[in-house]
Structure 1
Amino acid sequence: MSVQDDQRENQMIDRFNLEVPENRRRSDIDAYLTVDGQTVPFELKSATSKGVSTVRDLGPNHFAKWKNIHWLFGVYDRTGTRLLHSYYGSPDDMAPWITEKERYVGPDVELAEHAMRGVSADSVINLLGEKEFYTKEEAKWIMKNQWTAARYLEAADLSAGKELGYSLDRMVELMRERCYYVMSRGATLNNPHIPLSYIQNMPKITTEPAIELRRLVRDYLASS
């Protein structure tokens, strides 16, 4: 996230009186709104004349994350520093756009899953030889930096003295996961923009933003 994007996001958080968890990572939910004891997740975006940018690699993980997300789109002046007004997008408002993008990448996702299912014990044996015990180094050769040290430890299902290792069946699982990861990297869209014409059909917030947002969210929750 650029410095300007970060500043805009913080401005929207302040204006709408939203909550942000401590130690939030970039992949986490942007902010939350508490309404009548219910915690509502929000995605925060700023709009330009070209529309609203999304993410660099839009794919299955984002579609799953966005199914029940509420959205706030901030429209700024030409300098990009002053928030003029905003649009509120409920999950229902965003569903057509998300569904369209999900359908577009659907064939590529199925191809990745099909390739993953094709990985077998022979795939591991052809690469590493047939063994009863595969080392952590061999597992890391397959998974690269995709896993954390804790994940390698958790996945180990064998031990030889102090050394933890992996069975043939577990290595098949590793290779399938890596295969899906590699293939699914291509099953993404590079930062598709949400057109301004799309968000301009949503409720517009100009005055008393915190109060108006809560009213809109309450109305949505009551009708859903």
Structure 2
Amino acid sequence: MTPYTLYIESDEGPLPAPLAPQLGAGRLRVVRQVDLRPSDFDTACGLIATAYLDQIDFEARAGTIAAFLGTGGRIVFNGHIVRAFIRGMRPFVPLTTQRRSALAIERLTPHPIFAGISVETHAAQMGVAGFYGRGHNPPLAGATLLTGIGPDKLPVDWEWLQPGGGGLFVHSGNDIWGVSDDAGTNALIAERVVAWSLAGRSERAAA
């Protein structure tokens, strides 16, 4: 069976266009959050959560999520953390000012998801800064900071990996495959996000 990632849908809206090729390739499956079952965590390699996720539900599944991460599962989280579903999580911290200089972003650490993609591609959308993020989710202990925002380079993107291959990729803003005006960039980000989410359990199975 082809390893796959679950895209957790918060409603019955259409799948975002950048993710459609991943669905067609069998690397992505869609499940409505209200239909998410404990057994889904056993068979999927990764989970992708949109910025519209019901975090009350995720908080209630904290034990299942911890077990998923402990067995190599990976989660891509978009949006503002409001409820902790992993031990040590803290709520989203908004920027104290929304001036354009405070919304500037900078890559802090190279990462496969962003390889070859200029930060300017994500700096503004339709000429307006701030779509990428307007604050940050404080990183878990041991996380790698990937993208900073504002003069203090607050971690709007970060990655937290466990020794067994499981982990969390956090983007503290709108869904990361939709924050560029360039459709090709959005599709490439979507492809790489899915690849990252698959890597933990698939590599563990191959070992």
Q: Does TM, scored on the shorter chain, surpass 0.5?
A: no
User: Max radius of gyration: which structure?
Assistant: 1
Q: Which has the higher helix share?
A: 1
Q: Normalised by the size of structure 1, how large is the TM-score?
A: 0.28
Q: Normalised by the size of structure 2, how large is the TM-score?
A: 0.29
